[in-house]
């Protein structure tokens, strides 16, 4: 068998394996035992509380009363979530028990890759901040994204928000 044919056969086998195994991996709630971002690894398997929040981050800041950490305020700017532009993420947490904050962005109906970032602590109060970006979706100009905010401490809590990114112009 020549080298070119061998590479084609191996590529097809790998593609078939990915097609078969990826849906199972994506549906598994234990697909990712931890998320690595900014040279830190966080174990998210012990998240005690997951809340889908009805507040729309596109309309401005959202507040949530956490049973674990008290008042949590989240704001992302610019609020229209433009692709390929820096998104400033600000989180204010009432409790001092929070030891870290992770923000993950993922497409709601389409896998657009993993996009996770750990926020930096701002001062002595409960402020956390950082920035991230989202990719452009060439299929859907009005992409729906899930913003997953994970508060880390002795117990972890995850807040999930939906946002819409509208592409008006690529340039």
96/100 Cα distance (integer angstroms): 10
Per-residue confidence (pLDDT) for residue 32, from 0 to 100: 37
Select the more confidently predicted residue: 73 or 47.
Answer: 73
Question: What's 13's DSSP letter?
Answer: H
143/137 Cα distance (integer angstroms): 7
Confidence of residue 167 (pLDDT cuts 50, 70, 90): low
Q: What is the pLDDT of residues 87-121, one digit of tens each?
A: 899 999 999 899 999 999 888 887 777 788 999 99
Share of the chain above pLDDT 90, in %: 26
* Whether pLDDT at 142 is above 90: no
Per-residue confidence (pLDDT) for residue 119, from 0 to 100: 93
Contacts of 54 (CB under 8 A, 6+ apart): none
Q: What is the pLDDT of residues 49-93, one digit of tens each?
A: 677 777 888 888 999 999 889 999 999 998 888 878 888 999 999
| pTM for the whole structure | 0.66
Query: Taking a C-beta distance cutoff of 8 angstroms, is the pair 163, 144 a contact?
Result: yes
Share of the chain above pLDDT 70, in %: 76
């Amino acid at each position: 068998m020549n080298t070119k044919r061998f590479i084609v056969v191996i590529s097809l086998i790998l593609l078939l394996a990915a097609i078969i195994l990826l849906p199972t991996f994506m549906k598994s709630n234990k697909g990712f035992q931890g998320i690595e971002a900014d040279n830190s690894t966080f174990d998210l398997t012990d998240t005690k509380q997951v809340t889908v929040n009805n507040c729309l981050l596109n309309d401005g800041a959202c507040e949530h009363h956490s049973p674990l950490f008290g008042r949590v305020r989240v704001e992302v700017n610019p609020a229209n979530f433009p692709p390929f532009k820096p998104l400033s993420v600000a989180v204010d947490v009432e409790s001092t028990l929070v030891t870290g904050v992770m923000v993950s962005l993922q497409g709601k109906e389409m896998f657009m890759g993993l996009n996770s970032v750990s926020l930096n602590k701002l001062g002595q109060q409960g402020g956390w901040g950082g920035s991230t970006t989202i990719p452009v979706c060439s299929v859907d100009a009005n992409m729906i994204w899930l913003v997953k905010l994970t508060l880390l401490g002795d117990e972890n809590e995850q807040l999930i928000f939906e946002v819409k990114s509208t592409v008006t112009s690529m340039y």
